[in-house]
Amino acid sequence: MVVESFSIPDRVVNLKAEAAFTVLEKAKLVERRGVDVVHLEIGEPDFDTPQHIKDAAIEALKKGETHYTPTPGIPELREALSEYVKNIYGIDVDWRSNIAVTVGAKQAVFAAMLTLLKEGDEVIYPNPGYPAYSSAASYAGAKTIPYKLTIDNNFSVKPEDISEMITSKTKVIVLNSPHNPCGSVMSSEDVRGIVELAEDHNLYIVSDEIYQPILFDGLRHYSPLNYATDTDRVILVDGFSKRYAMTGWRIGYLVVSKDLHPYIVKVLNVMTSCPVSFVQRAAIAALRGPQEPVYEMVKEYEKRRNVVIEELSKIDGIRFVKPAGAFYAFIDISNILRKINKTSEEFVLDLIEKYGVAFLHGTAMGEYGEGYIRISFANSIDNIRKGIRRLGQAVKEVMTE
């Protein structure tokens, strides 16, 4: 019971939690009634964490690594991360002063926003996009300025678009490539152009690269770290959840400038003291061990992506583009919604209830996601076919009603 005269502060009341978990809950409820539901809503790999990673955690537990660690992570993991960053981005980072290990990339986003933003600062962020960017920025008191990703611009953002949004109050630009939920991947020119803008206007870039290297058709990954003349303005947010199928382990990291590092570490200290001790050993095994499991998973995602396209092509009345990375397709169903006069969320709930397939409504990823649904292809090819055929059936029925 809430004591009278006590009111929950606006910053908490207005906090937007991830709606993906609500859809999952709904789907589980329907399943409990005996309905077969195909899950294409979930944003996590269906693969098991590779065995050598699990073994490293078990070994650490057996050795008694069950206590607190330094807030920014054990030195061995930070060293492994600095080698990884050198490998992927070709830049030298000091494990002591540039790296902080976090409890998932989500915590990295939160800590970065709390450290960078003052009341009234402006943050330019992707919408639709991963909801934590705007939630964390609003919580920090900043004003959130969305850049709209639509199917008509191939779910991409151009430096010119960002340029128009910059004001004297802008502090941070958020980039996310490969992108959740659109499956789009930024080109080198766009990344370079946005880095130049950030440099000209003295802004930070928070670059969430958690879906790197899940890229298809031989595409390459481009990071602001590849182009910044001053890498201090780039905050890299990354994690192990997607790449190594480690969502439940809750581990990620940040690469930040030497100046920001002590403050971000202070925020992390207040939040969680340190990342989980034995999970850090698992993360070292992920980085230093064989990378074949990652390549295999990426190959499988690409196969599934092709099946998604094949199945969606059979449905009239929807629009989509071929996802270039991550494991999502973002489908324009606005024609159908207009016909039935429903929101994407209402339609998603109908699909679970009446057709036994769960997707994520576009508005779970921001208001500009209205008119879309996200299909996750982190599921088997059989389930992908089954789920999309159920969508096809639903679309056919509502369009001929």
Name which position in 38, 105, 315, 375 contacts ligand PLP (CB under 6 A): 105
Number of Cβ within a 10 Å radius of residue 48: 10
Cα distance between residue 339 and residue 314, in whole Å: 19
Of 80-88, 102-110, 222-230, 290-298: span binding ligand PLP (CB under 6 A): 102-110
**Residue 297: C-alpha distances to residues 216, 220, 225, 291, 303 (Å):** 12, 17, 25, 10, 10
Residue number with CB closer to ligand PLP (57 or 318): 57
State yes or no: residue 145 binds ligand PLP (CB under 6 A): no
Specify the stretch interacting with ligand PLP by CB under 6 A; choose among 52-60, 100-108, 302-310, 371-379.
100-108
Nearest approach in angstroms of CB 19 to ligand PLP is 12
Distance CA 147, CA 165 (A): 8
Shortest reach from residue 252's CB to ligand PLP, in Å: 4
Sole binder of ligand PLP in the list 210, 214, 228, 285 (CB under 6 A) = 210
- Bridge partners (DSSP) listed for residue 319: 332
- Ranges within 245-264 binding ligand PLP (CB under 6 A): 247, 252
- For ligand PLP, give the closer residue by CB, 356 or 366: 366
* Residue 204 in tokens: 């930070």
**Judged by CB under 6 A, does residue 114 bind ligand PLP?**
no
Counts for the chain of helices (H) and strands (E), in that order? 15, 12
Q: Which is nearer to ligand PLP, 239 or 369 (CB)?
A: 239
Q: Is the CB of 181 or the CB of 371 nearer to ligand PLP?
A: 181
Q: Are 47 and 241 in contact (CB under 8 A)?
A: no
- If we measure between CA atoms, which residue out of 264, 194, 200 comes closest to residue 235? 264
Cα 103 to the chain's mean position, in Å? Answer: 14
Stretch that binds ligand PLP, among 72-80, 101-109, 272-280, 282-290 (CB under 6 A): 101-109
State the minimum distance, in angstroms, from the CB of residue 215 to ligand PLP: 14
> Which of 222, 18, 10, 225 shows the shortest CA–CA distance to 106?
18
Considering the complex, what minimum distance in angstroms separates the CB of residue 339 from ligand PLP? 31
Residue 380 to residue 372: CA distance in whole angstroms: 22
Most distant CA pair in the chain, distance: 65
Binding to ligand PLP by residue 279, rule CB under 6 A? no
Interface region with ligand PLP, contact rule CB under 6 A, candidates 25-33, 164-172, 195-203, 239-247: 239-247
Q: Pick the piece of the chain touching ligand PLP (CB under 6 A) from 91-99, 104-112, 134-142, 386-394.
A: 104-112
Does the protein bind ligand PLP through residue 130 (CB under 6 A)?
Answer: yes
At 384, list the tokens.
């992908």
Q: State both tokens at 196.
A: 């130049």
CB 142 within 8 A of CB 117: yes
Contact pick of 239, 275, 293, 366 for ligand PLP (by CB under 6 A)? 239
Does position 82 interact with ligand PLP (CB under 6 A)? The reply is no
Query: How many CA atoms are closer than 13 Å to the CA of 314, on its beta-carbon side?
Result: 12
Question: Both tokens of residue 102?
Answer: 């976090």
Distance between CA 94 and CA 113 in Å, rounded? 22
Q: Is residue 280 involved in binding ligand PLP (CB under 6 A)? A: no
Q: Using the rule CB under 6 A, is 208 a contact of ligand PLP?
A: yes
Least distance from C-beta 342 to ligand PLP, angstroms? 26
80 vs 279, which CB is nearer to ligand PLP? 279
Interface with ligand PLP (CB under 6 A), residue total 13
> Angle between the 75-89 and 277-288 helix axes, to the nearest 10 degrees?
30
Contact yes or no for 71/265 (Cβ under 8 A): yes
Task: Note whether 184 binds ligand PLP by CB under 6 A.
Answer: no
Binding-site ranges for ligand PLP (CB under 6 A): 43, 104-106, 130, 176, 180, 208, 210, 239, 241, 247, 252
